[in-house]
Structure 1
Amino acid sequence: MTTFTNVRGVKYGEISLVCGPGVATMYNTTSMNNPENPGVPNPNTPDSVPLAAWNKSSQDSLAKDYSVPSVLKNGPRFWVSDTLKLPVGPTLNFSGIYARWFAYPAYPPGISKIFGNPKGAYKQTTIQRDSVIGFNAGTKIFVLVDPNNNPYVMQAGSSQFDTSETIQSLEQPNFASKLHLPSGWQYKAITITKPLTIQAIDGKATVTTDYLANTYDSCTSPSTAACSYNPLTGQ
């Protein structure tokens, strides 16, 4: 298990080697690709997914390189939490992008239509991972609220569809208008007054995405214990 601190705003990408439904291995660039020594982890790397290197390869070319049926490239993205705790494993070089193993996510069938495709937005997906995501007191968090008043807290933003998206843009009053929210859904920016943690329960996390591929963790599924408290009520 590795703890990452001061990750808020850090840019990263994920590359998953997908061998079939429920069988995948995911690599993440966080702390890698510092210009001084790209293959060595450096926690002070604000952009671990330089675009020139990231765009050098396609999903199809990487699938051929690693002899797997398919590859899912997810990025560029940026963390909106303050801390992360999760297992970290070996490093691979994906055509010039270094990334370390972070998870066996056990993606459901059709994962490419859930992540990175607006048609898959606002649907619950349970993925396998071991993680604890932390937000400091005084931090602004970004929350989707479904029609049943269940909160989903954003753990990472995306610049895949809106290349101008930043943490600052998430706070803008008009940001919700970009999300094509379904009837009954809401988007809120909330300043928390005490630390908030979100953890995978029994190695599983329930997530959803919005229209711009920002990703959120559920506070109520698979258990209300996923969040240390309900960010809508403070309880």
Structure 2
Amino acid sequence: MRDGVFGKRYGEVLLVTAGNSGVQATVYNTFPLNDCPADLWDTLDAKAIAEENGAAAALLNGPRYWLMSSIGKVGPDSLERKAFGGLEMILQATVQLSSMNPSPYQVNRVDRKAVFVFDAGRQIYELIDPDGKRWVMQTFSQTVDRTLSLADLPGLATRLSLPPGWRYEARTPTTPLRVDTTGRHACVTQDDLANSYSLVEV
């Protein structure tokens, strides 16, 4: 388990391919190798990355900031590394995408074999869907709004274009919240500011 990840900055490159089973992406992440330095991240060329890696497309996902306190991973000790524009990354997951360019509030299935722990006493931010299921924000993003900060998250409801029946809430749990997807695919969605949420299974 890696502790102390709250607020850590990272970026991702998703290499997208389309096959018989649908649209899939391999996810490369700068964490924990580096903090996604802006001078390198801002020069990444998605089209060139896709061509260099034989992908149908490359998606640049970041910069982003973790909102959980700890992350645990199940899998091999040594993971594939790859450099994009001089930015070192690790292969962390594969994603079944809902489309080549997923829309907000659509569900994507992620094979990440991870446990996210949100500490008691620290505010969390959730989407509640029409079925009453909770989706906890795992990372906030500066992809859409480069100035978005942690201080903006409690009042984010006024900025989101939520689908009918959805709502956004901030709350402070009194016990730790665990999202354990070591034995199943994670269900992940994004809002229209590209913040990412994981379904909380009960």
Q: State if a TM-score over 0.5 links the two structures.
A: yes
State which drifts further: 69-78 or 188-197. 69-78
Q: CA deviation digits over 1:10-40, x for unaligned, max 9?
A: 111111222323543211001223xxxxxxx
- Which residue is equivalent to 1:182? 163
Give the letter for the 1:185 counterpart: W
- Which residue is equivalent to 2:99? 110
- Which residue is equivalent to 2:46? 59
Q: Which SS does the other structure have where 1:104 is aligned?
A: strand
- Which residue is equivalent to 2:190? 209
C-alpha separation in 1, matches of 2:37 and 2:167: 33
Give the letter for the 1:24 counterpart: A
- Which residue is equivalent to 2:31? 30
Q: Which SS does the other structure have where 2:49 is aligned?
A: helix
Q: Does 1:158 align with 2:141?
A: yes
Q: Which SS does the other structure have where 2:97 is aligned?
A: coil
**1:141 positional shift:** 0.6
**1:121 positional shift:** 1.3
Where in structure 2 are the equivalents of 1:27-106 lying within 5 Å?
Answer: 27-33=28-34, 48-86=35-73, 87=75, 89-105=79-95
Q: In 2 relative to 1, CA 90–216 (structure 1 residues): closer, same or farther, beyond 3 Å?
A: same
Bigger RCO of structures 1 and 2 (CA < 8 A, at least 6 apart): 2
- Which residue is equivalent to 1:191? 172
**1:154 positional shift:** 0.7
- Which residue is equivalent to 1:44? none
C-alpha separation in 2, matches of 1:191 and 1:131: 23
| Matched-pair contact (CA < 8 Å) for 1:80–1:167 | no
Q: Whose strand fraction is larger, Structure 1's or Structure 2's?
A: 2
**1:60 positional shift:** 0.8
Q: In 2 relative to 1, CA 147–58 (structure 1 residues): closer, same or farther, beyond 3 Å?
A: same
Give the letter for the 1:74 counterpart: N
Q: TM-score, normalised by structure 2?
A: 0.89
Q: Does 1:14 align with 2:15?
A: no
- Which residue is equivalent to 1:229? none
- Which residue is equivalent to 1:43? none
Q: Which SS does the other structure have where 2:193 is aligned?
A: coil
C-alpha separation in 2, matches of 1:104 and 1:181: 27
Any gaps of 5 or more consecutive residues in structure 2? none
Percent of aligned pairs with the same amino acid: 31
Query: What RMSD in Å do the two structures reach over aligned CA positions?
Result: 1.8
**1:207 positional shift:** 1.4
Q: TM-score, normalised by structure 1?
A: 0.77
C-alpha separation in 2, matches of 1:24 and 1:121: 17
